């Protein structure tokens, strides 16, 4: 994810009235980025927006929806932000016009390490998985 359509970063620099924004995401669990159905850990973007909300008074409502609806709903003005979003995800001629992308707020590197003896085992054999995420301030 290089650039995201999270314009809330701009709000930190310019005074605005507290408002309610609708944040849309793909309708599946994409933890550690988001899991809005969780009662405890809703993910990175929820944590970031909650911190911003405490500072600014803005409120955020989260709406999961099918991937193909995200850009159309944004174009229609029914949602305010999409997370994650990247200009490479979309048809530039149709959906990228007039959109603002923030600087990168998270970079993802994925991988796993297993014992040599476990190389051919499938996912059903996994008992524990650790997830690490770190926020960097530039």
Gap between the Cα atoms of 117 and 37, Å rounded: 36
How much is the pTM? Answer: 0.65
Q: Which fold has domain 8-107?
A: D-Maltodextrin-Binding Protein; domain 2 (3.40.190)
Would you state the pLDDT for residue 2? 42
- What distances in angstroms separate CA 106 from CA 18, 32, 69, 83, one per listed residue? 25, 11, 24, 11
Gap between the Cα atoms of 92 and 87, Å rounded: 7
The per-residue pLDDT for range 107-119, each reduced to its tens digit, is: 776 677 778 888 8
Gap between the Cα atoms of 105 and 109, Å rounded: 14
Would you state the pLDDT for residue 11? 47
* Bigger pLDDT: 134 vs 52: 52
For residue 53, what is the enclosing H or E element?
Answer: helix 44-56
């Amino acid at each position: 994810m290089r650039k995201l359509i999270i314009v809330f970063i701009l709000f930190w620099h310019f005074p605005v009235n507290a408002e309610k924004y609708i944040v849309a995401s793909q309708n599946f669990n994409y933890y550690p980025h988001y899991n809005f159905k969780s009662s405890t850990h809703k993910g990175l973007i929820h944590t970031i927006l909650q911190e911003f909300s405490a500072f600014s008074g803005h409120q955020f409502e989260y709406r999961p929806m099918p991937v193909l609806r995200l850009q159309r709903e944004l174009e229609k003005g029914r949602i305010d932000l999409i997370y994650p979003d990247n200009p490479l995800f979309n048809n530039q001629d149709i959906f990228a016009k007039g959109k603002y992308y923030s600087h990168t707020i998270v970079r993802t590197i994925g991988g796993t390490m297993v014992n040599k003896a476990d190389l051919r085992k499938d996912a059903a054999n996994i008992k524990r998985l650790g997830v690490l995420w770190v926020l960097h301030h530039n």
